[in-house]
């Protein structure tokens, strides 16, 4: 949550930073801001707008902030007479915020500035001891201008920069050295931070720190760059350094140097990024959500590449478990949040069904506060698109302390989930920008299906022939998704019109259909703000059916499965009470038209693989309803793509 950018080089920074922030808006969009380091100018000179310059020949910081989206910064920068000098600055940092401490106001927008106005910081993360730090800083005379936790960083850095004794009470070695002052400030802070700081007395320098919050830096032909996501760097460079916890970077127009917490020089590994630039653009689609829904056939194919050896055995060598360890697994927990949790619900059916291993799916935020039964033969599977969800990470750490092997399924190479797990499968979805997960869900389900097959193979529950056949059918879902995208858009539109004015909707299904319904309901509520709830179809008569009145939308996953007839019976009960029924059904199913008002068809596929295809119409439906209701499809209110707070 929250996005950070920084640039120092030869070009004007403001426009670059705003463009970078726009790519990061998926991380939060409550407020935004820039700190630009204006070049020093001669004492008594006038600025470009003709105003007398009060900077006494020193460089100055210009802080530009707005409540709401990054576009507000463009308005500020375009205001005549405003930012005339700042727009020429070649060094600056920027931030787009998802509010944690303090409301989304201009005052709480980053950057935050020291008392003397010479140091500015942007921060992603949470400072857990901020109340005590703030109290002691105030005792020492610092005046706070915001409600945020981040502002303590500005004042701590200021003290160190001015030469206050270090945290151990010893003499300061940080006076007049921004990088050293940032390192010192970090010793006081408990919590998570990705941080970038600038100082008007060191124009051109950006000091960067990282602990439990992603930071990427890179060197391009025209300067040095920092961001909380590589997506903002790919225009400038493909070779980036993903900082590790406790590493620091000092950026200048000439280059980047790295140090550890003691200030010793280090040489971190360089990662090459091969995403295409299109990933960061809409590529002709009306929104990222639509683009990402349409990318799902590719995601299926890419996630499967190289997974089946010519011997017919599955090949997941990144698992981090030996075949012997794998064969001993006698319990699986899938831990995840939101959409990733729903992928886990599907995995439970597959792991228990194929491998006959008990599998529980738990919200990561709950798992860590229970005392789950974990033994050395427990496998914990952590699923996270972003790889940085705080609850999931905390649950991983907890599980490892308790002795479990942890296997991560994530979309982000080098993310904390990948690094802190014993093994990892990457979902190959490529960057997902829309806040609502679509293609990454499909990548997760495909990866979890592979894992279930592998467990079944290891336990001897499926033959090589069966695995080969299931693998082939798994691959076929790519074309089946494409077929849905090509043929069902009009049906989805009709169904969406029926939901447009509703206040609430129910999603129902049985077995796999029940798990798919959970994802359909989440998608609809997060992008269209329409209340939606998922219910096992057989449970309707135990309460929720009381909600049904004329026109109430009931969205049913009614694909051909062993429980199809029972699902249809449940739908008839809803129909009899006036519900408007929208069914996702299997091509060729005419019977469903007798009960459903609207039908969206998917190709026939075995029940175990049905989530990969049957979720797609529900993604399309949620998006279509959101568009009809005039919602911001890619950036729904109150949400952020990466949830790095607990
Ligand atoms: O990055 P993660 O997969 O760990 O994120 C988990 C949830 O925050 C995420 O799936 C969220 O529910 C999505 N917005 C749903 O579309």
Report the range out of 67-81, 360-374, 576-590 with the highest average pLDDT. Answer: 576-590
Mean pLDDT of 2-10: 94
Taking the C-alpha atoms of residue 132 and residue 371, their distance in angstroms, rounded to an integer, is 31
Residue pLDDT, tens place only, 29-62 = 788 999 999 876 544 444 443 444 445 567 789 9
Closest CA to 231 of 221, 245, 220, 216: 216
CA-angle at 79, arms to 76 and 80, nearest 5° = 155
Kindly report the protein residue whose alpha carbon is nearest to atom 16 of ligand 1: 436
In the residue annotation, 641 being an active-site residue is answered as yes
Mean pLDDT of 330-343: 96
Q: Which of 26, 28, 339, 410 to mutate to test the pocket of ligand 1 (most atoms within 8 A of CB)?
A: 339
SS3 (DSSP) at 18: helix
**Omega before 111 within 30 of 0, i.e. cis:** yes
DSSP notation for 490-526: HHHHHHHHHHTT-SEEEEEESTHHHHHHHHHHHHHHH
pLDDT score, position 253 = 95
Taking the C-alpha atoms of residue 488 and residue 599, their distance in angstroms, rounded to an integer, is 9
In the residue annotation, 337 being an active-site residue is answered as no
Taking the C-alpha atoms of residue 237 and residue 234, their distance in angstroms, rounded to an integer, is 5
Closest CA to 123 of 38, 212, 188: 212
Q: Is the pLDDT of residue 491 over 50?
A: yes
Which has the higher per-residue pLDDT, 315 or 22?
22
SS3 (DSSP) at 373: coil
Going from the Cα of 100 to the center of ligand 1, the distance in angstroms, rounded, reads 17
Residue pLDDT, tens place only, 396-427 = 999 999 989 999 999 887 788 988 999 899 88
Task: Give the range among 28-32, 295-299, 351-355, 593-597 with minimum mean pLDDT.
Answer: 28-32
Taking the C-alpha atoms of residue 278 and residue 295, their distance in angstroms, rounded to an integer, is 12
**Any ligand 1 atom below 6 A from CB of 435:** yes
Dihedral of CA atoms 76, 82, 88, 92 in degrees, nearest 10, equals -50
Mean pLDDT of 616-629: 97
Residue pLDDT, tens place only, 130-145 = 999 999 999 999 999 9
SS3 (DSSP) at 635: coil
Give the nearest ligand 1 atom to 642 CA. Answer: 1
Q: Quick one: pLDDT band at residue 259, thresholds 50, 70, 90?
A: very high
Tell me the domains of the chain and their CATH numbers: 3-274 (3.60.20.10), 288-487 (3.40.50.10490), 489-628 (3.40.50.10490)
Q: Is the pLDDT of residue 80 over 90?
A: no
Taking the C-alpha atoms of residue 23 and residue 31, their distance in angstroms, rounded to an integer, is 14
Q: Quick one: pLDDT band at residue 492, thresholds 50, 70, 90?
A: very high
Which has the higher per-residue pLDDT, 123 or 23?
123
If residue 613 lies in a helix (H) or strand (E), which one and from where to where? helix 610-628
Going from the Cα of 642 to the center of ligand 1, the distance in angstroms, rounded, reads 7
Going from the Cα of 389 to the center of ligand 1, the distance in angstroms, rounded, reads 8
Q: Give this prediction's pTM.
A: 0.76
Average pLDDT across the chain, whole number: 90
Q: Quick one: pLDDT band at residue 639, thresholds 50, 70, 90?
A: confident
Q: Quick one: pLDDT band at residue 317, thresholds 50, 70, 90?
A: confident
DSSP notation for 156-171: HHHHHHTT---TTSS-
pLDDT score, position 280 = 66
Going from the Cα of 166 to the center of ligand 1, the distance in angstroms, rounded, reads 40
CB-CB contact of 492 with 620 (8 Å): yes
pLDDT above 70 covers a percentage of the chain that reads 93
pLDDT score, position 593 = 95
Residue pLDDT, tens place only, 213-234 = 889 999 999 999 999 988 889 8
SS3 (DSSP) at 432: coil
pLDDT score, position 42 = 46
Taking the C-alpha atoms of residue 76 and residue 89, their distance in angstroms, rounded to an integer, is 15
593-601 contacts, C-beta under 8 A, 24 or more apart: 595/568, 595/571, 596/556, 596/558, 596/571, 597/498, 598/491, 598/494, 598/495, 598/498, 599/491, 600/488, 600/491, 600/492, 600/495, 601/484, 601/487, 601/488, 601/491
Kindly report the protein residue whose alpha carbon is nearest to atom 12 of ligand 1: 338
Q: Which of 229, 338, 391, 645 to mutate to test the pocket of ligand 1 (most atoms within 8 A of CB)?
A: 338
pLDDT score, position 645 = 66
**Any ligand 1 atom below 6 A from CB of 218:** no
Q: Where are the alpha helices (DSSP H) in 165-257?
A: 178-188
CA-angle at 644, arms to 641 and 645, nearest 5° = 120
Q: Quick one: pLDDT band at residue 316, thresholds 50, 70, 90?
A: confident
**Any ligand 1 atom below 6 A from CB of 415:** no
Kindly report the protein residue whose alpha carbon is nearest to atom 4 of ligand 1: 384
Distance (Å) of CA 56 to CA 44, 46, 47, 87, 277: 7, 11, 12, 20, 43
**Any ligand 1 atom below 6 A from CB of 338:** yes
Backbone angles phi, psi at 58, to 5 degrees: -95, 155
Kindly report the protein residue whose alpha carbon is nearest to atom 8 of ligand 1: 338
Which tokens hold the place of 152?
């303590």
Residue pLDDT, tens place only, 423-471 = 899 888 888 889 999 999 999 999 999 999 999 999 999 999 999 999 9
Which tokens hold the place of 61?
């910081």
Taking the C-alpha atoms of residue 134 and residue 138, their distance in angstroms, rounded to an integer, is 6
Which tokens hold the place of 83?
């930012």
Which tokens hold the place of 533?
């709830």
Closest CA to 613 of 516, 506, 522: 516
CB-CB contact of 511 with 543 (8 Å): no
Going from the Cα of 644 to the center of ligand 1, the distance in angstroms, rounded, reads 11
Exposure class string for 296-310: b at 16+ Cβ within 10 A, else e: bbbbbebbbeebbee
Catalytic residue chosen out of the listed positions 22, 291, 439, 641 = 641
Kindly report the protein residue whose alpha carbon is nearest to atom 9 of ligand 1: 338
Residue pLDDT, tens place only, 272-293 = 887 666 666 777 789 999 999 9
Q: Rg of the Cα trace of the chain?
A: 27
Backbone angles phi, psi at 200, to 5 degrees: -65, -20
pLDDT score, position 314 = 86
């Amino acid at each position: 949550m929250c996005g950070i950018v920084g640039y120092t080089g030869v070009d004007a920074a403001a426009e670059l930073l705003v463009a970078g922030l726009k790519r990061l808006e998926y991380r939060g969009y409550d407020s935004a801001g820039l700190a630009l380091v204006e070049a020093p100018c001669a004492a008594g000179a006038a600025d470009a707008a003709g105003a007398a310059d009060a900077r006494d020949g020193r460089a100055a910081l210009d802080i530009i902030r707005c409540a709401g989206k990054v576009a507000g910064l463009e308005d500020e920068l375009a205001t005549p007479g405003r930012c005339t000098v700042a727009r020429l600055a070649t060094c600056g940092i920027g931030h787009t915020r998802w509010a944690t401490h303090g409301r989304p106001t201009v005052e709480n927008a980053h950057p935050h500035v020291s008392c003397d106005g010479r140091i500015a910081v942007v921060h992603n993360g949470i400072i857990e001891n901020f109340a005590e730090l703030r109290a002691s800083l105030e005792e020492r005379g610092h005046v706070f201008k915001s409600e945020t936790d981040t502002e303590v960083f500005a004042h701590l850095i200021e003290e160190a920069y001015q030469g206050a004794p270090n945290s151990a009470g010893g003499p300061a070695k940080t006076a007049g050295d921004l990088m050293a002052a940032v390192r010192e400030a970090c010793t006081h802070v408990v919590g998570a931070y990705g941080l970038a700081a600038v100082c008007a007395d060191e124009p051109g320098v950006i000091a960067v720190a990282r602990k439990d919050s992603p930071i990427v830096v890179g060197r391009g032909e025209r300067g040095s760059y920092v961001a909380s996501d590589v997506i903002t760097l790919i225009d400038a460079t493909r070779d980036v350094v993903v900082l590790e916890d406790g590493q620091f970077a000092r950026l200048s127009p000439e280059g980047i140097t790295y140090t550890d917490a003691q200030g010793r020089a280090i040489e971190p590994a360089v990662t090459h990024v091969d995403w295409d630039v299109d990933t960061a653009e809409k590529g002709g689609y009306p929104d990222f959500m639509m683009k990402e829904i349409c990318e799902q056939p590719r995601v299926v194919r890419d996630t499967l590449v190289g997974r089946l050896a010519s011997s017919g055995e599955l090949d997941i060598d990144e698992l981090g478990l030996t075949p012997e360890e794998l064969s001993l697994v006698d319990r699986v927990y899938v831990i995840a949040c939101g959409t990733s949790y729903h992928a886990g619900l599907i995995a439970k059916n597959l792991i228990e069904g194929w491998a006959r291993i008990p599998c529980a799916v738990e919200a990561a935020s709950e798992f860590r506060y229970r005392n789950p039964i974990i033994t050395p033969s427990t496998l914990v599977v952590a699923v996270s698109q972003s790889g940085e969800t705080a609850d999931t990470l905390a649950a991983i750490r907890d599980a490892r302390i308790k002795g479990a092997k942890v296997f991560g399924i994530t979309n982000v190479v080098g993310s904390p989930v990948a690094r802190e797990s014993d093994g990892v499968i990457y979902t190959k979805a490529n960057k997902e920008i829309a806040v609502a997960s679509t293609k990454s869900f499909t990548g997760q389900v495909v990866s979890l299906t592979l894992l279930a097959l592998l467990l079944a193979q290891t336990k001897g529950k499926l033959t090589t022939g069966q695995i080969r056949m299931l693998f082939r059918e798994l691959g076929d879902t790519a074309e089946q998704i494409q077929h849905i995208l090509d043929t069902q858009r009009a049906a989805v539109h009709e169904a969406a019109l029926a939901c447009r004015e509703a206040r609430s909707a129910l999603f129902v299904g049985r077995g796999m259909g029940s798990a798919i319904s959970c994802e359909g309901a989440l998608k609809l509520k997060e992008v269209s703000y329409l209340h939606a709830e998922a219910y096992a179809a057989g449970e309707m008569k135990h309460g929720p059916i009381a909600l049904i009145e004329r026109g109430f939308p009931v969205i049913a996953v009614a694909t051909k499965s062993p429980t199809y007839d029972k699902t249809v019976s449940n739908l008839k009960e809803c129909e009899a009470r006036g519900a408007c029924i929208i069914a996702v059904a299997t091509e060729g199913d005419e019977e469903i038209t007798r009960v459903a008002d609207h039908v969206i068809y998917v190709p026939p596929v075995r029940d175990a693989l049905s989530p990969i295809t049957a979720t797609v119409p529900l993604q399309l439906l949620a998006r279509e309803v959101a568009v009809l209701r005039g919602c911001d499809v890619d950036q729904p209110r109150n949400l952020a793509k990466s949830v790095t707070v607990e």
